[in-house]
Chains A and B, each alone.
Chain A
Amino acid sequence: MVKRETEKKSLISWTVEQDIGFLVLDNPPGNSMTALFFDELKRLTTAITQSHIKALIITGRGRHFSSGADLESLIAAIKTDSTGNGKPMKEAKAMLLSHVLTFEFFSDLDIPVIAAIQGVCLGSALELAMHCHFRLCSNDALLGLPETGFGLIPGVGGIQKILQLSGKAKAIELILKGSNFAAADACKWHIADALFPKKELMEKAVQLAGIAVDGYRRYKKAEYLKRLTQPMTPA
């Protein structure tokens, strides 16, 4: 095989504006999370660490947050495993564990990390969003963990995260059913934090970044959200 690739388009766009980092999943329309995407995300963690940003917003380019991981890269890893003679599932396991570490980088950050979710946010995309400290959704957002429908389970921490957020009964229902749910339901079940018209979503995310930066983790999460959703009083 000729090892020559044309210069790849970046799958994630990374910018900093006024001390806020914007990490945009940039592979429209679905912003699918491919093996290359995960490589890029992992590399970006270094840039984020060195950036001195005060808050981080993660969102998707275009209509959707992300349709989740594409199974191609997983199948490729399993193929390597089943043809190689190493330990069973060494490749696939190492790949997933690396994804887990990348996601945990975001939850471990000591600056507020906000997911701004529009359109679909499924599977690994929801797993990434659940590793953020806040999840703001547009009214039209559609969330879900469809893995069990493919004979799989959420593999990048999604089971543990949704259990913490929604409690055991709802976690069992949502994971085993595997069907999508609306942002309004996600809020009701504590999986998302707040709901906004699509047009206002980014503006609200930036506003929350500003509020949360001020003494982050000094208050309970609900306090920040209260300040965000309270109607603006005219000066």
Chain B
Amino acid sequence: MNSRNTTSWKQEGSIGILQLHNPPGNYLTIPEFFPTDELQQKVNNGIKGLIITGSGRHFSAGADLKMIKKQLGEIHRFRKQLTQGNELLNFIETMKIPVMAAITGACFGGGLEVALSCHVRVCSKTALFAFPEVNRNLFPGMGGIRKLEEITGKATALELILKGDLINAEKAYELKLVDRVLPKKEVMNYAVDFLKTITRDRPLKVINSVMESLNNSRNMSFEKAVEKDVEMFCQLALEEFNKGEKNGET
């Protein structure tokens, strides 16, 4: 099965919605669940925000273990696929538009790694989270460990990954794993409204600069990131100034 059968894409105005669509559990059949270059294409077409969500009751129950077992015969191929999955999640994490995970039901393993790659996470009151990999003597293989540690701190990350226990939405909020908990039927509308509200009046280059700056904090020192902010600020200011000149203002 290829990724096209297990995801669907739609757009609401300038907000793209990528739906994991492999019901009922929305298992990720391959790690690169949506082609990275195709996602890049969508961005090039000018979307200002992205929502990742699951079709039906669940976000995603994670990787399909049966699939993994089958693939293990061809370890090189599997390794390549996993690398491509990692690249997709890193691509999502460093996107220069805000990316939001709208989570209902199960959000496990690889599914949780997808959610952690997003910039904002909103979930339903009945959502459940877990990294169950350890129960099969595995661990999150798509960069989820680092992302979890960044969000929750090392102690919580260790506990969640080594225990492999299920946690509910309330606990997830307490651990900063999600940013907002809402009644199930409000989750999707909230996500769309949130992204529309914050991007509506903003030119794409301003959105891109803000997101780039926030992403810089991950791989640069504070001072270096601020220096980049200054550069981006000047670029935007120059464009605004030139625009003002054209309109006869000074």
Contacts and interface: CB of A to CB of B under 8 A. Distances in A.
Interface residues of A, number: 38
Given A148-B202, A151-B240, A169 B231 contact: no
Contact of A153 (B197, B222, B227, B233): B233
A129 B98 CA distance: 26
B19 interface: no
Contacts of A100: 226-227, 230
A97 B209 CA distance: 18
B120 A169 contact: yes
Interface in A23-51: none
Contacts of A78: 234, 237-238, 241
B206 A81 contact: no
A84 interface: no
Given A97-B230, A157-B229, A172 B214 contact: yes
A153 B209 contact: yes
A155 B229 CA distance: 6
B236 interface: yes
Contact of A89 (B98, B213, B217, B238): B238
A150 to B, nearest CB: 7
Interface residues on B, range: 35 or more
Nearest to B213: A159
Nearest to B179: A169
B206 A167 contact: no
B160 interface: no
Contacts of A169: 119-121, 179-180
A104 B224 CA distance: 13
15 contacts: A75-B250, A78-B234, A78-B241, A89-B235, A153-B206, A153-B209, A153-B210, A154-B229, A156-B226, A163-B214, A168-B119, A169-B120, A172-B119, A172-B214, A175-B210
